[in-house]
Amino acid sequence: MRFSISPEMATQEVQPNETLSNLKAESDTLKTKLEDERAKLHDVELHQVAEKVDGLGQFIMKTRRTLKGHGNKVLCMDWCKDKRRIVSSSQDGKVIVWDAFTTNKEHAVTMPCTWVMACAYAPSGCAVACGGLDNKCSVYPLSLDKNENLAAKKKSVAMHTNYLSACSFTNSDMQILTSSGDGTCALWDVESGQLLQSFHGHAADVLCLDLAPSETGNTFISGGCDKKANVWDMRSGQCIQSFETHESDINSVRYYPSGDAFASGSDDATCRLYDLRADREVAIYSKESIIFGASSVDFSLSGRLLFGGYNDYTINVWDVLKGTRVSILFGHENRVSALRVSPDGTAFCSGSWDHTLRVWA
Amino acid sequence: MTISTLTRGGAQREQQHCLRKMERVIIAMQDPDIGLKMRNQRLLITVIPHAMTGNDIMEWLIQKYNITDEEAGHLGGLLVQYGYIYPLKEPRSLILRSDDSPYRFQTPYFWTSSRWPASELDYAIYLAKKNIRKQGELVDYEKQNYNLLHKRINHTWDFVVMQAREQIRASKQRRKADRIVLECQEQAYWLVNKPCPGAFDVFDLGPERCNVLNSRVILNSSLLFFLLRISSVPNNSLSSHFLLSLSCVCSFMKFCDQYHQHDPIMSGCLPSNPWISDDTTHWTINTDLVGTPTRLRVERWSFSFMELLNDCLGRREFMTYLEKEFSGENLCFWEACEDLRHGESSKIILKVEEVYKTFLSPGAARWVNIDSKTMERTLEGIKQPHRFVMDDAQMHIYFLMKKDSYPRYLKSDLYKNMLSKAIVPQETKKSVFPFMRRQRHSSPSPAMVSQATEDNGKAKGAGPAATNSGTLS
């Protein structure tokens, strides 16, 4: 039986004689106890069982498109459901919508702030959301009238007290989920800008989030500077699972296609796979020669491959089951800041501080 | 009261981890047993001790980490960029050459991690030294920096010049080789810490992270979280709640295997991958409401109920099937609930009323069969309508369809016919002239398609359809 915590309980005043260090000690003890319980279930490693799986043959992926047009570091990108359009945002405040297939730019917006760290395409393909150092998330409907200034129709939706690190539409154009440097995530109604639910629990900046592809569609994951990856119930605002095995900031989290697990990429130069049903980390993807942090991760359609964009300008491709690195892709001339596989899995796109985006297939 | 439970704030945090790791590599490279073989290098007429060639560095990296030339070159290049190794010839060019160009390890005193941020005073002294030693030694950006500093810390300029002169005098008393080494080290340090504008800057980092929050609040909620988890299961054991690792692990293998053929990156796609061949046929034959779907697509509907519902064509087929069985209202109800859950807040009350009228009220036109307990709870909830008021009922109907109608659909003639009619496109033979590039056609923007259908009075969000190729007018 589970009982719910109310947000008020978390902020209650504790007994005056309970010092901060006592609280921390108690928290640590419980954490160890939890880890011990989890360890009891640990009977086998993923890569051991995957020994009988066929290895992957020669792996060749090349840059098929290079999108040039940003005047500064590309910070974020997202695919449109039509499998070929992309929205990207950069340090100089520009948000560009491209038809990546033809490499044509279709729309451009200049945000009133720099460091636009988050951008997302609406499921209908008719709008984009973006935000960054302005602490807000704004939605721009995409107009096809060349004379119309997109900025005029801008709708301010989310308001945080620190930078916006990530945003994502839920199943429709009407709701947006955001994460922020203020340590919280929040769910917003786009039309009214109303806050529908807020999610507290991270001890520091939240850097990334991803929505679950599950049938009941009610959970999402977030990763932050407190090295934790949390699983949240969207309806109640509660944190239902938490994982803390990384040694540094978690820059990116992404669900495994079945929704039963998720991968994370961190500044500790590793990517890890966490199983939600077993409630533990089941794989680490790392190599001694990989020194720089992973900024962005995504799975191929079948979940067999994990693509990681790193701060050393490379993209490492991992065999999710066997835990080995399949390939390393060179091409970018500065750190890779964003990486997403296209909706139909035919390619993936990487955005980099070298001002370009590349589509690989 | 706020106590920082995290280490230093600011941009430095981001760098700490990779700098530490690079230092470990550097230390390993200098290990007397497993490290590089260093030797004396001749630089003009002086002999510099403890130097190695670019080639040595590459070889060592390749051997130690079992990586390719390209990767070793890349990694070595980063070690040079971050100032842990510096070139003796052409010191301003911070790249790793895989030939016999000489390199040296930077002394830990000058490591990026130990002396950041660089102080203005130190930089001024360094520039002054260079200027005094040899006129015209400073390059453009260094001259600019020098002038800027001269203005900014003018009040201590006498001290700067005095220090510079002292250091020059002290170094003259050293052996020539030592003097050259020290000069190289110092120069390398400043090239990394005060790079030429436009060149790579190791301190070019993102916005500041790690704003410390109220630890007490966080610890309280952490405590509650742990207490909850441990006490919410009988016998304080978590095993009954969470599956054993083996079954979880096997499910990953099963999933990857099932979707292997459907993963274009793993198995290719038919007739060809548009990004590789510039041919969009793969997309046109897979549009949302195409006349005849592909075989792979129809097969995918049998993987899970979610797959069927997520595909508009699949969902439409399923609706046809349900209507034949006179249970179409189930799917309609489910869709209406989804619309409620994900729609605008302002329309909630209206939608709840609609759903009640159409599906739940006694004698409703499309009455759905929910168990009495759920119905009771739902009707009670409707009195105070909110976004999730239909959740229980929706879940009930969803599982009803999943457990009952869906398996029967997969066995039905309707599905079987769909499967047999489905097309398997021919794989495009590689072009005889591989360099001939096809013309890349644009597709109508989803925003335009949606506007057009809206104008026609149809429902929005019909989905982008890249049917005709042609440029946007």
Instruction: Kindly report, residue by residue over A106-136, the tens digit of the pLDDT.
Output: 999 999 999 999 999 999 999 999 999 999 9
Between positions 286 and 345 of A, the ones with CB within 8 A of B are 287-289, 291-293, 300-305, 311-314, 320-321, 328, 330, 334, 341, 344-345
What is the token pair recorded at B383? 């009195």
Amino acid at B203: F
Portion of chain A with pLDDT greater than 90, in percent? 77
Residues of B in contact with A18 (CB under 8 A): none
**Would you place residue B135 in the very low, low, confident or very high pLDDT band (cuts 50, 70, 90)?**
confident
What is the token pair recorded at B283? 């997309």
Residues A224-273: tens digit of each pLDDT: 999 999 999 999 999 999 999 999 999 999 999 999 999 999 999 999 99
Residue B227 pLDDT > 80: no
Are A14 and B440 an interchain contact pair (Cβ–Cβ within 8 Å)? no
Which residue of chain A comes nearest to B247, CA vs CA? A278
Answer with the residue of higher pLDDT: A325 or B9.
A325
Which residue of chain A comes nearest to B345, CA vs CA? A189
Q: Give the count of beta carbons closer than 10 Å to the beta carbon of residue B167.
A: 17
Are B21 and A269 an interchain contact pair (Cβ–Cβ within 8 Å)? yes
Q: How far is A70 from chain B (nearest CA, A)?
A: 16
Cα–Cα distance for residue pair A152/B195, rounded to 1 Å = 41
Which residue of chain A comes nearest to B395, CA vs CA? A216
Cα–Cα distance for residue pair B208/B256, rounded to 1 Å = 39
Average of pLDDT values for A144-162? 84
Amino acid at B258: Q
**Residue among B21, B213, B395 whose CB faces A216 most closely:** B395
Cα–Cα distance for residue pair B471/A142, rounded to 1 Å = 18
Longest dimension (CA), chain B: 105
Which residues on adjacent β-strands are paired with residue A121?
Answer: A128
Cα–Cα distance for residue pair B339/B341, rounded to 1 Å = 6
What is the DSSP code (8-state) at residue B423?
B
The 3-state DSSP class for residue A224 equals strand
Residues 6+ apart with CB under 8 A from B199: none
Average of pLDDT values for A47-62? 85
The lowest-confidence range among A21-35, A80-94, B223-237, B366-380 is B223-237
The lowest-confidence range among A148-152, A294-298, B173-177 is A148-152
Q: How far is B101 from chain A (nearest CA, A)?
A: 23
**Residue among A83, A133, A289 whose CB faces B65 most closely:** A289
Task: Give me the numbers of helices (H) and strands (E) for chain A, helices first please.
Answer: 3, 28
Output the pLDDT for position A261.
95
Q: How far is B403 from chain A (nearest CA, A)?
A: 14
Give the mutation candidate from B265, B276, B300, B398 for the A interface (greatest A CB count, under 10 A).
B265
Q: What are phi and psi of B267, to 5 degrees?
A: -115, 5
Nearest to B205 by CA among B400, B13, B334: B13
Average of pLDDT values for B103-122? 87
Average of pLDDT values for B249-265? 93
Are A291 and B22 an interchain contact pair (Cβ–Cβ within 8 Å)? yes
Answer with the residue of higher pLDDT: B171 or B464.
B171
Nearest to A236 by CA among A180, A188, A196: A196
- Per the CB < 8 A criterion, the answer to whether B281 and B271 are in contact is yes
Residue B10 pLDDT > 60: no
**Residue among A141, A189, A287 whose CB faces B345 most closely:** A189
**Which segments of B278-405 does DSSP mark as H helices, in order?**
281-284, 295-300, 305-310, 312-324, 328-342, 348-355, 372-382, 391-400
A281 phi-psi bin (left φ>0, alpha ψ -120 to 50, beta other): beta
Chains A, B: CB contacts within 8 A come to 346
Q: How far is A215 from chain B (nearest CA, A)?
A: 6
Best-predicted range by mean pLDDT among A2-6, A15-19, A44-48, A74-78? A74-78
Are A172 and B306 an interchain contact pair (Cβ–Cβ within 8 Å)? no
Between positions 104 and 163 of A, the ones with CB within 8 A of B are 104, 106, 115, 117, 123-126, 133, 141-144, 162-163
- Per the CB < 8 A criterion, the answer to whether B104 and B184 are in contact is yes
Nearest to B370 by CA among B406, B400, B327: B400
> Is any Cβ of chain B less than 8 angstroms from the Cβ of A185?
no
Are A101 and B450 an interchain contact pair (Cβ–Cβ within 8 Å)? no
**CA separation, residue B64 to residues B20, B28, B61, B73, B288 (Å):** 18, 10, 5, 13, 51
Portion of chain B with pLDDT greater than 70, in percent? 82
**Residue among A144, A207, A293 whose CB faces B17 most closely:** A293
Which residue of chain B comes nearest to A250, CA vs CA? B14
Give the mutation candidate from A92, A215, A324, A348 for the B interface (greatest B CB count, under 10 A).
A215
Q: How far is B223 from chain A (nearest CA, A)?
A: 5
Nearest to A125 by CA among A141, A138, A137, A114: A141
Output the pLDDT for position B115.
72
Which residue of chain A comes nearest to B467, CA vs CA? A82
Residues A195-212: tens digit of each pLDDT: 999 999 999 999 999 999
The 3-state DSSP class for residue A346 equals coil
Which residue of chain B comes nearest to A287, CA vs CA? B65
Output the pLDDT for position B209.
84
**Would you place residue B216 in the very low, low, confident or very high pLDDT band (cuts 50, 70, 90)?**
low
Mean of pLDDT over chain A: 90
The 3-state DSSP class for residue B424 equals coil
**Residue among B224, B280, B463 whose CB faces A10 most closely:** B224
Length of chain A: 361
Dihedral angle, C-alpha A200, A203, A206, A207, nearest 10 °: -160
Are B442 and A278 an interchain contact pair (Cβ–Cβ within 8 Å)? no
Cα–Cα distance for residue pair B437/B289, rounded to 1 Å = 29
Residues of B in contact with A252 (CB under 8 A): none
Are B211 and A162 an interchain contact pair (Cβ–Cβ within 8 Å)? yes
Output the pLDDT for position B1.
26
Q: Transcribe A43-58 into DSSP letters.
A: ---HHHHGGGSPPP--
Q: Give the count of beta carbons closer than 10 Å to the beta carbon of residue B242.
A: 19
Cα–Cα distance for residue pair B262/B270, rounded to 1 Å = 10
- Per the CB < 8 A criterion, the answer to whether B51 and B40 are in contact is yes
Residues A320-352: tens digit of each pLDDT: 999 999 999 999 999 999 999 999 999 999 999
Residues B151-161: tens digit of each pLDDT: 998 999 999 99
The 3-state DSSP class for residue A219 equals strand
Cα–Cα distance for residue pair B403/B398, rounded to 1 Å = 9
Q: Transcribe B272-296 into DSSP letters.
A: --HHHH--THHHHTT-TT-SS-BHH
User: Strand locations in B14-127, DSSP E?
Assistant: 39-43, 46-53, 85-87, 102-105
**Residue among A38, A311, A361 whose CB faces B275 most closely:** A361
Q: How far is B85 from chain A (nearest CA, A)?
A: 16
Q: How far is A220 from chain B (nearest CA, A)?
A: 15
Cα–Cα distance for residue pair A186/A179, rounded to 1 Å = 7
The 3-state DSSP class for residue A233 equals strand
Q: What ipTM does the predicted assembly reach?
A: 0.89
**Residue among A141, A268, A302 whose CB faces B263 most closely:** A302
**Would you place residue A36 in the very low, low, confident or very high pLDDT band (cuts 50, 70, 90)?**
confident
Q: At how many degrees (to 10) do helices B391-400 and B328-342 cross?
A: 140
Give the mutation candidate from B201, B263, B308, B453 for the A interface (greatest A CB count, under 10 A).
B263
Give the mutation candidate from A87, A101, A227, A246 for the B interface (greatest B CB count, under 10 A).
A101
Which residue of chain A comes nearest to B71, CA vs CA? A328
Residues of A in contact with B238 (CB under 8 A): 34, 37-38, 40-41, 279
Are B78 and A292 an interchain contact pair (Cβ–Cβ within 8 Å)? yes
Burial of B426 (0-12, 13-18, 19+ CB in 10 A): exposed
Are A44 and B229 an interchain contact pair (Cβ–Cβ within 8 Å)? no
Cα–Cα distance for residue pair A270/A291, rounded to 1 Å = 9
Residues of B in contact with A99 (CB under 8 A): 442-443, 445
Cα–Cα distance for residue pair A301/B307, rounded to 1 Å = 13
The lowest-confidence range among A63-67, A86-90, A108-112, B441-445 is B441-445
Average of pLDDT values for B421-434? 77
**Would you place residue B234 in the very low, low, confident or very high pLDDT band (cuts 50, 70, 90)?**
very low
What is the token pair recorded at B284? 């046109």
**CA separation, residue A39 to residues A229, A240, A245, A251, A279 (Å):** 18, 19, 13, 26, 10
Residues 6+ apart with CB under 8 A from B272: B279, B281, B282, B427, B428
Residues of A in contact with B243 (CB under 8 A): 277-278
The 3-state DSSP class for residue A174 equals coil
What is the token pair recorded at B352? 């709840």
Output the pLDDT for position B11.
54
